[in-house]
C-alpha cells in the first residue's frame, strides 16, 4: 500500500480489491470523482445520504428551498411542517454580526520573559497586524483582515509548571469561514514572535472554534390566531406550552442538551450539502450553549399579548467562499437553496435551526415526539 495516496481513485480501488463492494460503498467512478480526489485524501469515490427538501422557507422576505442531507426522516418532515407556519406568519427575520474569527498563538517562557513578551507584543501590534495581513491580500481586498491583537499570560498550574504566553489575533473573515486564512496568519505571527522574543519557546498557532465573534440571530413572530388556525386548536395554549418547554430547558441542562441537539438536526442537515465544516459548526454552537458554565438552550420564547416571539442566537462559522465550493454538488446546493451571499447563508442556517427546534417542541408538548417520528421511522 506504499504511495497509495499518489494513485488515482480507480487505481486505489484496484489495490483494495473487491470492486463490487467498493462500488456499493463509494458509487461509480465519474467525472466528479477526480474533483473530489483533490478535495480530500485517499479518495475512492463518494458516500451518499438521503437528500430531502423543504420546498419553501421565507427568510428576510425571500423564499428559499432548502436541501437537507440526513438519515433522520422526521427532521425534514418537521422542518416542512413548521416552514408552512413560518411562511404564513410572514417568515423569519435574521441578522448576522460582522464575522470575526480569533486565533491563539501560544508559546512558553520563564515568568520574566513572558512579561517581556506581552510588553513587546503590545508595542508592536501594528507591525504584527501588517505581517498577518500580508498573508492574505484577497481577504484584505474583500474588506476583511486582521484588525486586533492582544496578549495575555496564563500562569503555571498544578497540572503544568510552565508559564504560557498567548497572543490572540482577531480577523474579520468577510465572506469566508476563514479557518485556513486565519491559521496561515497565526503561523506567520508565531514565526515573527520566535524570531523577535528571547526565551520564547513556540507552542502552537491555530484559530479557536469559540464563535463569540460570529453570532447570528433569527426571529419568528407567531400570532396566536395563526397558530390556532394552523394547528386546529387554541393557539395561545400551544404557545404557552412551547414557552414552558424553553423555560424547562433553561433550568435543566439535561433537557437543554437535547433541545440543542434538535437545533443541530436542522443546521447540520442543511449545512452538509453546502459543504460547510459541520464539526466547526457543532463545536462553536455547543461551546456557546455552555458559555455560562451550564448547558443552556440556544432558542428562547416570549409570550406577548397576541403572539409568541421565538428566537435563536448562536454562532455560525460558515463560509460563502472557500475551497469547498470546488465540489460541483456543493455549488449546486448553493444555487438550489438560492444563497447568493454570506449573510443569506447565515440567515438560512439560523432559520432552519429555529424552525427545527420549534417543530420539535411543538410535537413534544402536544402529541409527543413518537407519534410522527415513529411513523416515519417504522417506514424506514
Ligand atoms: P478560508 O475560509 O480559510 O479562506 C477563504 C479564502 O478565500 C481567503 O483566504 C481569501 O484569500 C479568499 N477570498 C476571496 N474572496 C473572499 C471574500 N469575499 N471573503 C473572504 N475571503 C475571500 O477557506 P478554506 O481554505 O476553504 O478553509 C475553510 C476550511 O478549513 C473549512 O471548511 C474547514 O474544513 C477547514 N479547517 C477548519 C479548522 C477548524 O475549524 N478548527 C481548522 C483547519 C481547517
pLDDT at 373: 62
pLDDT at 369: 73
Note if 296 is an active site residue. no
pLDDT at 211 over 70: yes
pLDDT at 231: 78
pLDDT-derived band of residue 372, with 50, 70 and 90 as boundaries?
A: low
Please write the tens of the pLDDT for every residue from 66-81.
999 999 989 999 999 9
Taken in order of first residue, the domains within the chain and their CATH numbers are 4-39 (no CATH), 51-97+215-379 (3.90.770.10), 100-207 (3.30.70.420)
Give the angle 175-347-278 at the CA atoms, nearest 5°. 70
pLDDT at 232: 78
- The mean pLDDT of 211-226, rounded to a whole number, is 97
C-alpha cell read off for 206: 491555530
- Ligand 1 site residues (CB inside 6 A) read 136, 138-139, 142, 144, 174-181, 183, 207, 209, 277, 280, 319, 321-324
Catalytic residue among 72, 150, 237, 343: 72
Return the best residue to mutate from 139, 184, 208, 324 for the ligand 1 pocket (most ligand atoms within 8 A of CB).
Answer: 139
Place of cell 514565526: 191
pLDDT at 374 over 90: no
Task: Provide DSSP, 5-41.
Answer: GGS-HHHHHHHH--HHHHHHHH----HHHHHHHHHSS
Hey, how many other C-beta atoms are within 10 angstroms of the C-beta on 87? Answer: 15
| Closest approach atom of ligand 1 to CA 275 | 32
Q: For the packed helices 342-364 and 73-88, what is the interaxial angle rounded to 10 degrees?
A: 100
pLDDT at 2: 64
Residue with CA closest to ligand 1 atom 2: 178
pLDDT at 229: 85
Hey, how many other C-beta atoms are within 10 angstroms of the C-beta on 189? Answer: 22
Lowest-confidence region among 98-102, 224-228, 251-255: 224-228
Average pLDDT, the chain: 95
Q: What is the rounded distance in angstroms from the CA atom of residue 276 to the CA atom of residue 287?
A: 18
What pTM, to 2 d.p., does this model score? Answer: 0.95
Q: How many Å lie between the centroid of ligand 1 and the Cα of residue 5? A: 24
Please write the tens of the pLDDT for every residue from 97-146.
999 999 999 999 999 999 999 999 999 999 999 999 999 999 999 999 99
Q: How many CA atoms lie within 13 A of 128 on its CB side?
A: 28
Q: How many Å lie between the centroid of ligand 1 and the Cα of residue 110? A: 35
Place of cell 482577531: 170
pLDDT at 343: 98
Q: How many Å lie between the centroid of ligand 1 and the Cα of residue 65? A: 25
Q: How many Å lie between the centroid of ligand 1 and the Cα of residue 170? A: 15
Q: How far is CA 245 from CA 227, 241, 255, 300, 352, in A?
A: 17, 6, 9, 10, 19
Return the best residue to mutate from 141, 144, 181, 283 for the ligand 1 pocket (most ligand atoms within 8 A of CB).
Answer: 181
Percentage of residues of the chain with pLDDT beyond 70: 97
Q: How far is CA 244 from CA 161, 230, 250, 295, 315, in A?
A: 48, 20, 10, 17, 24
- The mean pLDDT of 87-99, rounded to a whole number, is 97
Return the best residue to mutate from 176, 214, 278, 285 for the ligand 1 pocket (most ligand atoms within 8 A of CB).
Answer: 176
Catalytic residue among 136, 175, 187, 277: 277
Q: How many Å lie between the centroid of ligand 1 and the Cα of residue 294? A: 31
pLDDT at 302 over 90: yes
pLDDT at 124: 98
**CB–CB of 200/117 below 8 Å?**
yes
Q: How many Å lie between the centroid of ligand 1 and the Cα of residue 192? A: 22
**CB–CB of 9/34 below 8 Å?**
yes
pLDDT at 19: 95
pLDDT at 297 over 60: yes
Note if 277 is an active site residue. yes
pLDDT-derived band of residue 334, with 50, 70 and 90 as boundaries?
A: very high
pLDDT-derived band of residue 380, with 50, 70 and 90 as boundaries?
A: low
Nearest of 277, 301, 326, 298 to residue 224 by alpha carbon: 301
pLDDT at 1 over 60: no
Please write the tens of the pLDDT for every residue from 14-56.
999 999 999 999 999 998 899 999 999 999 999 999 999 999 9
Q: Which residue has the higher pLDDT, 370 or 40?
A: 40
Q: Which residue has the higher pLDDT, 2 or 258?
A: 258
| Closest approach atom of ligand 1 to CA 177 | 2
Amino acid at each position: 500500500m506504499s504511495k497509495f495516496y499518489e494513485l488515482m481513485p480507480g487505481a486505489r480501488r484496484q489495490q483494495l480489491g473487491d470492486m463490487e463492494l467498493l462500488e456499493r460503498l463509494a458509487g461509480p467512478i465519474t467525472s466528479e470523482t477526480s474533483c473530489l480526489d483533490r478535495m480530500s485524501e485517499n479518495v475512492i469515490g463518494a458516500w451518499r445520504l438521503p437528500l430531502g427538501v423543504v420546498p419553501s422557507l421565507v427568510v428576510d422576505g425571500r423564499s428559499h428551498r432548502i436541501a437537507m442531507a440526513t438519515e433522520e426522516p422526521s427532521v425534514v418532515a418537521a422542518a416542512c411542517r413548521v416552514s408552512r407556519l413560518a411562511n404564513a406568519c410572514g417568515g423569519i427575520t435574521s441578522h448576522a454580526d460582522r464575522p470575526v474569527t480569533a486565533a491563539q498563538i501560544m508559546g512558553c517562557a520563564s515568568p520574566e520573559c513572558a512579561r517581556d513578551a506581552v510588553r513587546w507584543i503590545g508595542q508592536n501590534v501594528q507591525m504584527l497586524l501588517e505581517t498577518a495581513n500580508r498573508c492574505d491580500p484577497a481577504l484584505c481586498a474583500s474588506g476583511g483582515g486582521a484588525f486586533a491583537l492582544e496578549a495575555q499570560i496564563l500562569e503555571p498550574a498544578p497540572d503544568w509548571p510552565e508559564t504560557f504566553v498567548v497572543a490572540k489575533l482577531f480577523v474579520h473573515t468577510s465572506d469566508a469561514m476563514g479557518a485556513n486564512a486565519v491559521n496561515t496568519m497565526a503561523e506567520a505571527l508565531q514565526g515573527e514572535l520566535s524570531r523577535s522574543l528571547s526565551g520564547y519557546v513556540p507552542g502552537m498557532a491555530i484559530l479557536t472554534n469559540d464563535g463569540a465573534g460570529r453570532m447570528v440571530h433569527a426571529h419568528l413572530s407567531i400570532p396566536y390566531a395563526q397558530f390556532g388556525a394552523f394547528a386546529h386548536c387554541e393557539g395561545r395554549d400551544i404557545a404557552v406550552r412551547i414557552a414552558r418547554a424553553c423555560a424547562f430547558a433553561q433550568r435543566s441542562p439535561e433537557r437543554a442538551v437535547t433541545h440543542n441537539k434538535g437545533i443541530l438536526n436542522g443546521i447540520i442537515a442543511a449545512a452538509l450539502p453546502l459543504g460547510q465544516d459541520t464539526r466547526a459548526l457543532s463545536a462553536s454552537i455547543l461551546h456557546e450553549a455552555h458559555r455560562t458554565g451550564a448547558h443552556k438552550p440556544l432558542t428562547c420564547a416570549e409570550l406577548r399579548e397576541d403572539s409568541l416571539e421565538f428566537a435563536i442566537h448562536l454562532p455560525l462559522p460558515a463560509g460563502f467562499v472557500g475551497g469547498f465550493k470546488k465540489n460541483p454538488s456543493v455549488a449546486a446546493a448553493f444555487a438550489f437553496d438560492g444563497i447568493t451571499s454570506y449573510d443569506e447563508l447565515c440567515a438560512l442556517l439560523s432559520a432552519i435551526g429555529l424552525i427545527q427546534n420549534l417543530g420539535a417542541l411543538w410535537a413534544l408538548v402536544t402529541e409527543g415526539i413518537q407519534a410522527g417520528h415513529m411513523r416515519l421511522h417504522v417506514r424506514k
